Amino acid sequence: MLLSALAVENTKPRSKPYLLRDGNGLHLLVTKTGTKLWRLRYRFGGKQNMLGLGAYPDVSLAMARGKRDEARKLLASGIDPSRQRKLDKIAAVDASNNTFRLIAEEHLANLQQSGTAPSTMAKNRWMLLDLARPLATIPITEITPAEILALLKKIEKSGRRETARKLRGEIGSVFRLAIVTLRAANDPTYPLRRALLKPIVTPRPAIIDERELGALMVAIDDYDGWPTLKAALQFLALTMVRPGEVRYMRRSEVIWPKDMWRIPAERMKMRRPHDVPLSRQALAALREVWDLGEGDGLVFPSIRSAIRPLSENAFNAALRRMGYSKQEVCAHGFRASASTILNERGYNSDVIETALAHQDENQTRRAYNRARYWPERTKLLQDWADLLDQFRGLSASRTAA
């Protein structure tokens, strides 16, 4: 006879434990203290087995029957319910240990070992350990696309659209590591590829008028601040490189006999070494500060410490002190100035792109261009340095007039 919910509730303890059977192996064990335990008897592999299903009233009669039916489905599939429970517990422990933060830290360690630039490492740590903090303690297998989307949309609504898109990519990298190490089966960021708004692209401000650029160069020449910063700004304008590449430049990277600067791959955005031919003017800017350093130290150290580079904001702060607003020019804008003016003057665009260290999608052509264009790049950068001198003259003639 099947049990009823009322009968289970009204069952009282006796002097000895006893059983109330419900059918298909399910029964209720009532102990001498009055504890009521659901258990399931079953046979597997020719042996009698017992599986605990929980205690009443935490597990009701209906819930116990449901657990019994699930166990019987496993038996029908040739699976021992007791062994499956042990495996499920192991999986639950593994899942609790394989949290998003744990795998994110593994991903960051891999990036560190592969030589990722310090600035990139700092950004990735900020995104994965700070911005993605709401996901930190969740097992990697339990994170849903909806949870990630809610996190990204919150960032997007604050106006940081590009940050939201980059964070989605970084979270995806963590999931791909989990997949290849057999700790996750899918990447929940994949369905979110078109779920975010496109960033509002704001071009970096740059001066492309030749006279105005000449006036800026005169202002840099007349700058009476820290001499290393003045030389670094001149060198930045002359070499068409990124500000970070100048800030971290080391003395051992300058090959004086070849008038060349070799930037190592770990400091380049595209993660490949980049050789920069140095014009007469660029070499002169280096000589202005060369005796201030020694050994393999920084060429353009901070005012506060010889072992620390100029700060990220040092260039722009100097430009502001010269009277240029952030809407007029920024340190990164020197590259745009050079690219625009040189293209307008008819220089080979492939040579310009190679000088800017922009990535060529074609690997064979990329390797070819790097070797093929060295003489052209040498001439280009010397011409650019000479043009900047001409622009200084144009600015001076306007001032005199």
Q: Is residue 215 part of a domain?
A: yes
Domain around 303: 210-400
User: Distance of alpha carbon 47 from its chain centroid, rounded?
Assistant: 55
Domain identity same for 83 and 105: no
Whichever domain contains 326, its CATH number is 1.10.443.10
Confidence of residue 397 (pLDDT cuts 50, 70, 90): low
Phi, psi of 235 (to 5 degrees): -65, -40
Q: Which of 48-57, 192-201, 372-381 has the lowest mean pLDDT?
A: 192-201
Would you call 390 helix, strand, or coil by DSSP?
helix
For 88-147, write each residue's pLDDT tens digit.
776 666 666 789 999 999 999 999 998 887 878 889 999 999 999 999 999 998 999 999
For 144-157, write each residue's pLDDT tens digit.
999 999 999 999 99
| pTM to 2 decimal places | 0.58
pLDDT at 371: 56
Q: Is residue 202 part of a domain?
A: no
Q: Is residue 92 part of a domain?
A: no
Whichever domain contains 177, its CATH number is 1.10.150.130
The chain-wide mean pLDDT, for the chain, equals: 89
Alpha helices in 183-308 (DSSP H): 210-221, 227-239, 243-247, 280-290
For 231-255, write each residue's pLDDT tens digit.
999 999 999 999 999 999 999 999 9
Would you call 160 helix, strand, or coil by DSSP?
coil
Domain identity same for 154 and 265: no
- Asked if 49 and 43 touch (Cβ cutoff 8 Å), the reply is yes
Nearest alpha carbon to residue 380 among 345, 344, 358, 347: 347
Domain identity same for 144 and 248: no
Nearest alpha carbon to residue 108 among 155, 164, 170, 190: 170
Domain identity same for 275 and 218: yes
Which of 59, 87, 115 is a domain's end point?
87
User: Distance of alpha carbon 117 from its chain centroid, rounded?
Assistant: 12
Domain identity same for 109 and 39: no
Domain identity same for 241 and 141: no
Phi, psi of 47 (to 5 degrees): -120, 150
Q: Is residue 205 part of a domain?
A: no
Which of 87, 117, 149 is a domain's end point?
87
pLDDT mean over 340-369: 77
For 50-78, write each residue's pLDDT tens digit.
999 999 999 999 999 999 999 999 988 88
Domain identity same for 339 and 257: yes
Domain identity same for 16 and 63: yes
User: Distance of alpha carbon 118 from its chain centroid, rounded?
Assistant: 12
Q: Is residue 385 part of a domain?
A: yes
pLDDT at 364: 45
Domain count, the chain: 3
Q: Is residue 136 part of a domain?
A: yes
Domain identity same for 253 and 174: no
* Residue 358 DSSP code: P
pLDDT at 199: 79
pLDDT at 365: 47
pLDDT mean over 16-42: 93
For 272-301, write each residue's pLDDT tens digit.
788 999 999 999 999 999 988 888 899 999
Q: Is residue 115 part of a domain?
A: yes
Q: Which residues are catalytic?
A: 242, 269, 332, 335, 358, 368
Whichever domain contains 47, its CATH number is 3.30.160.390
Q: Is residue 324 part of a domain?
A: yes
